[in-house]
A and B are shown apart, each in its own frame.
Chain A
Amino acid sequence: MKKFAFGYFAGITTALMVWGYYQAIYVAPLDAMQGEIFRIIFYHVPSASVAFLFFAVSLAGSIGYLSFRRNRLEWAQVSDAWALAGAEVGVVFCSVVLTTGPLWGRRAWGIWWTWDARLTTTLVLWLIYVSYLLLRRFAAGPQVQTLAAVLGIFGALDVPIVYMSNRWWRTQHPAPVFGGGEGSGMDPVMVHALLWNMLAWLAWGLLILALRYHVERQHQRFAAREAQEALDA
């Protein structure tokens, strides 16, 4: 049943990705100022949104782990698996943002990178979560999950700063297109295409998040069994 549901969701995701691509390339009109390069928005913005969402999943998992680690071990392990899955998949999406952004910037601004508030806070966010993953990969001992949870919570504090950075400070990065106040906004056809791509990338993200969670739970069960066997021996 689980396999069927997963296959069904994977099919829907593939259809959404194809439809999103069609909307981005063939339906959305060319931008009057930027021309074709503007179409990077259909991968760049949804990737940033999904990365933020998954860092929030990681935050919830980290808080859950710290809350349950003393009295509900199974719940703590589930929370920890969500925290790790959220952080790792979030880093993947954030990496997409940090590579598509400079490609867009090179054509739109004439530079690959500048140390403005939005770009710098995004890079810091990525570095925090990469250090989270490195901690989990290379540190050993019973406190690793606790330390990682604390780092995950502090890392998530950067998410609202990244989101607000181009509202709080004057940046090279454009002002927000949605919810940016008077004068902001897009052609409705472009908005339509962007929303389809957001949905498609969200579905893709949820698919790989579920896979990552499953792999981590399997790893936890395997590690617990090995530890039990070592105790029994």
Chain B
Amino acid sequence: MDQRAILDHQFLVAAYAVTWAIQLGYLAWLGFKWKAQKRDAARSAQNSR
């Protein structure tokens, strides 16, 4: 592979990796938010009893 093709490949891998990092990072944040909300709701229900 020539230098240009190697660089193209590296940039392509970077683009795909960044895409998945953003998407999966957001999904993980959403999961944590959901869990925290559920925990707070359960705690609040327990306190109000």
Residue on B nearest A34 in the bound complex, by CB: B8
Chain B min CB distance to A23 (Å): 14
A103 interfacial by beta-carbon distance below 8 Å: yes
Contact across chains for B9 and A103 when beta carbons are under 8 A apart: no
Which residues of B does A touch, CB under 8 Å?
4-5, 7-9, 11-12, 14-16, 18-19, 22-23, 26-27, 30, 33-34, 37-38, 40-41, 44, 48
Chain B residue contacts of A170, Cβ below 8 A: none
CA distance A40 to B38 in the complex (A): 38
Q: Which of A165-192 contact B (CB under 8 A)?
A: none
| B5, B23, B30: residue with the most chain A Cβ atoms closer than 10 Å | B23
Q: How many chain A residues touch B (Cβ–Cβ < 8 Å)?
A: 31
CA distance A219 to B37 in the complex (A): 7
Contact across chains for B19 and A96 when beta carbons are under 8 A apart: yes
Mark A204-228 against chain B: 1 for CB-CB distance below 8 A, else 0: 1000100110110011001001100
Residue on B nearest A44 in the bound complex, by CB: B15
Contact across chains for A103 and B15 when beta carbons are under 8 A apart: yes
Chain A min CB distance to B46 (Å): 13
26 contacts between A and B (CB under 8 A): A35-B4, A36-B5, A36-B8, A36-B9, A37-B8, A40-B12, A40-B16, A43-B16, A44-B15, A92-B26, A96-B22, A100-B15, A100-B18, A100-B19, A103-B11, A103-B14, A103-B18, A204-B23, A208-B26, A208-B27, A214-B34, A215-B37, A218-B37, A222-B40, A226-B44, A229-B44
CA distance A225 to B42 in the complex (A): 12
Task: Knowing A40-B15, A107-B11, say if A229 contacts B30 (CB, 8 Å).
Answer: no
Chain B min CB distance to A102 (Å): 9
A104 interfacial by beta-carbon distance below 8 Å: yes
Contact across chains for A96 and B23 when beta carbons are under 8 A apart: yes
Chain B residue contacts of A47, Cβ below 8 A: 19
CA distance A206 to B26 in the complex (A): 14
Q: Which of A24-40 contact B (CB under 8 A)?
A: 34-37, 39-40
